[in-house]
Structure formats: C-alpha cells, structure tokens
C-alpha cells in the first residue's frame, strides 16, 4: 500500500489495527532482508508518493519518502553544505532517520533539527531532534511505535563547486570500495567498538566465503552479496557463521545493522 499523505498513513494503520492485520513500514528497503516466505500482512511503503522537499533559507524540509540522494541534489542546487555524506546513501529520509544513517564521518543527527511522526494513538506530532535520541544506527523509533512522516535539517551556505567536490569524493569512494555491481542489503554489521566489522571478517579469512548463493564480498567484507540464486536462508546462515567465527577468534559479538523482515 502506497499512501499519498499523513492522513492516508493514519487511515491505513487504523484499518490494519481494526482488522488485527500485521503491517510493516517500508521506505526504499535498501537495508532489509526479507524472509523467503515473504511477509504475511500489509506493507505500507512511504516512498514515491510522499517525497516532497522544500527549502527555506538554510532549512530543508523533506517528507519521509524522499530519497536521500534527491535531498542531496536539492541542497547542492540551493548551495547548502552539510548533507554531502548522505547524498550517496540508497535510502529515504524516513529510513535514514529511523536508523540515524551515516557515512564518511557524518550522521543524520548532525544536521537534524525536527522530526514529524504519527503516534500509536494516531496523533501527528513534531519533536525536536534531541527527543529522538539518535545514536549510532539507532533512534527511539526502533522502540516507540511511531511512524516517521518527515524531518527538518539545518545546513550551512557554501558554493556549489565546494559541495559538488565533496559529493563526488564520497560517491567515488563508495564506488571504489563497495560491491555496488551485485545485489546486497547494504552493510550487514554495525561497527564494533575500536574496530571495523569488514576488517575483522577479512582477518578471519572469510572474504569470498559463500553459503549457497550468498557470498562475503571480495571487494568489501562488510557486505554479503547475491552471486546468483541466494535465498534469505543462505544469507542468514552466512551471517551466523561469520558471527560464530568472530566471537571465537576476537571474543566480540557482531550486531546486525541490516534488518530481517519476516513473520511466517
């Protein structure tokens, strides 16, 4: 189901609750792994029909369905800096706020000033950024049951030339280091304290290791790619194997950044 407004989101959720029907809020789905049996229920995709972006002075208002890349393009055209880190992340504003997306030293919490959401009792509220308690790959939205509808960020004026230079640098690094030529669910693991998950996976000799059609990328060991016919079970089996090896050798328990969606 693809709602076109906050009111439609509210009505759809109300219908689901009335019918005792499971529902899942989806953005671009770029950091998700869906179980092989799918999802029995309603997928509410806040994406292309709720993607309006508005810029006033140094403030950018974006609906949850706006792609981060589109926001990046809009800020470039408006000569506003501070959002370059997110311009290459293949997700939406809603997803980016939900997990406090970040890259190359920047995070959503660095620029966010407000979030608008729908509460479990169907109230539309706007809260200050600090109330969302954004931290590394985490926000209160992982626990509070609210649905993100949009956000406001505050940026800094700069020249288009300088902004584009930063964006091109980040995009170039992404293409050089990440296996963008293969299907994947993005970075699999959160960064451990004082280390990097990809580096640890490589150190235990699992770069290129595969289970079924799922393989630890030879380009970046923090990614699991589909080299052909991979199932969600293949990916999960590979994740468990990696976690066991890292725990055995480093005594460190890796935590997934990628979200696993299933209910059957």
pLDDT single digits (tens) 145-158: 999 999 999 999 99
**Mean pLDDT confidence for 202-226:** 97
137 in active site: yes
- CA-to-CA dists, residue 128 to 13, 132, 151, 242, angstroms: 24, 7, 10, 39
C-alpha distances (whole Å) from 139 to each of 28, 94, 96, 150 are 18, 11, 10, 14
> Residue 263: pLDDT band by 50, 70, 90 thresholds?
confident
Q: What is the pLDDT of residue 264?
A: 74
In the chain, what's the furthest Cα-to-Cα distance? 53
Instruction: Kindly give the pairing relationship between strand 106-107 and strand 102-103.
Output: antiparallel
Is 255 annotated in the active site?
A: no
Q: What's the pTM?
A: 0.94
What pLDDT score was predicted for residue 50?
97
The pLDDT tens digits of the residues spanning 56-78 come to: 999 999 999 999 999 999 999 99
- What's the confidence (pLDDT) of residue 261? 95
| Catalytic (active site) residue 40 | no
Catalytic residue among 84, 137, 139, 217: 137
pLDDT value at position 74? Answer: 98
**What's residue 72's pLDDT?**
97
- The proportion of the chain whose per-residue pLDDT surpasses 90, expressed as a percent, equals 98
175 pLDDT exceeds 90?
A: yes
- Residue 113: count other Cβ atoms within 10 Å of its Cβ: 13
Catalytic-role residue among 69, 139, 184, 187: 187
Per-residue pLDDT for 110 more than 90? yes
- Residue for token pair 């509808």: 149
- Say whether pLDDT at 253 is over 90: yes
Mean pLDDT of 227-246: 98
Cα end-to-end span (Å), the chain: 20
**71/15 Cα distance (integer angstroms):** 32
- Residue 216: phi, psi to the nearest 5? -70, 120
Q: Where are the alpha helices (DSSP H) in the chain?
A: 6-18, 68-77, 93-98, 160-177, 197-203, 232-250
**Cβ neighbours for 6, distance < 8 A, ≥ 6 positions apart:** 50, 116, 118, 124, 149
Instruction: Give the Cα separation of 86 and 183 in Å (integer).
Output: 20
């Amino acid at each position: 189901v693809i709602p076109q407004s906050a009111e439609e989101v509210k009505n759809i959720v109300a219908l689901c609750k009335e019918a005792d029907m499971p529902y899942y809020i989806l953005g671009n789905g770029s950091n998700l792994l869906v179980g092989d049996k799918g999802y029995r229920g309603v997928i509410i995709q806040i994406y292309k029909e709720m993607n309006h972006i508005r810029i006033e002075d140094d403030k950018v208002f974006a609906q949850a369905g706006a792609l981060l890349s589109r926001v990046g393009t809009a800020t470039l055209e408006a000569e506003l800096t501070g959002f370059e880190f997110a311009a290459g992340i293949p997700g939406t504003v809603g997803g980016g706020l939900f997990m406090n997306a970040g890259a190359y030293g920047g995070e959503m919490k660095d620029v966010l000033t407000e979030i608008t959401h729908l509460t479990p009792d169907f109230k539309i509220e706007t809260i200050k950024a600090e109330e969302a308690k954004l931290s590394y790959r985490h926000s209160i939205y992982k626990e509070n049951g609210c649905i993100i509808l949009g956000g406001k960020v505050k940026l800094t004026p700069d020249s288009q030339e300088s902004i584009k230079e930063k964006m091109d640098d980040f995009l170039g690094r992404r293409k050089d280091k990440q296996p963008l030529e293969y299907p994947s669910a993005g970075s699999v693991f959160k960064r451990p304290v004082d280390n990097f998950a990809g580096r640890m996976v490589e150190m235990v000799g699992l770069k290129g290791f595969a289970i079924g059609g799922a393989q630890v990328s030879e380009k970046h060991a923090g990614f699991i790619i589909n080299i052909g016919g991979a199932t969600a079970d293949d990916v999960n089996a590979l994740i468990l194997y990696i976690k066991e090896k890292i725990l055995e050798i480093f005594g460190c328990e890796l935590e997934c950044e990628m979200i696993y969606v299933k209910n059957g």
